[in-house]
Amino acid sequence: MAKPAVVSDNTFQQEVINASNEQPVLVDFWATWCGPCKMLSPTLEQIADEKIGKLKVVKMDVDDNPEVASKFGILSIPTMILFKNGKPAAQLVGNQPKARILSQIDPLLS
């Protein structure tokens, strides 16, 4: 299974904002102590595998990277934000089933 890349406050601009001009980037905002975040992880790995070449999936630990989390108003985790063309295009909060995640992001993968 593909492991989503890990991004930080320092790499976010390049790895997410700039990269989303080439292909959409799904960011999973999470924390090591968050049970629902851990339950979501295998689902995101499956999506990363299935969408190779169409979608980049990355993870950002909100405890280690408070700057970006604050900038995008992350109050609950897990929160997923899909970035496209340098901007947020969709957002899901909580441990969502794979079908729900795909129903939100698939229309934006073009």
Q: How would DSSP label each residue in 41-86?
A: HHHHHHHHHHTTTT-EEEEEETTT-HHHHHHTT--SSSEEEEEETT
Interval 31-59: pLDDT, tens: 999 999 999 999 999 999 999 999 999 99
Domains of the chain by range and CATH? 5-108 (3.40.30.10)
Task: Report the pLDDT value the prediction gives residue 3, as an integer from 0 to 100.
Answer: 82
Tell me if the pTM is above 0.85.
Answer: yes
Using CA atoms, how far apart are residues 8 and 36, in angstroms rounded to an integer? 21
The active-site residue out of 37, 48, 60, 82 is 37
Q: Is 37 a catalytic residue?
A: yes
**Looking at 26, 27, 34, 81, which residue is catalytic?**
34
The answer to whether 27 and 88 are in contact (CB under 8 A) is: no
Please indicate whether residue 66 is annotated as part of the active site.
Answer: no
pLDDT tens for 14-29 read 999 999 999 999 999 9
Whether residue 1 is predicted with pLDDT greater than 70 in this model: the reply is no
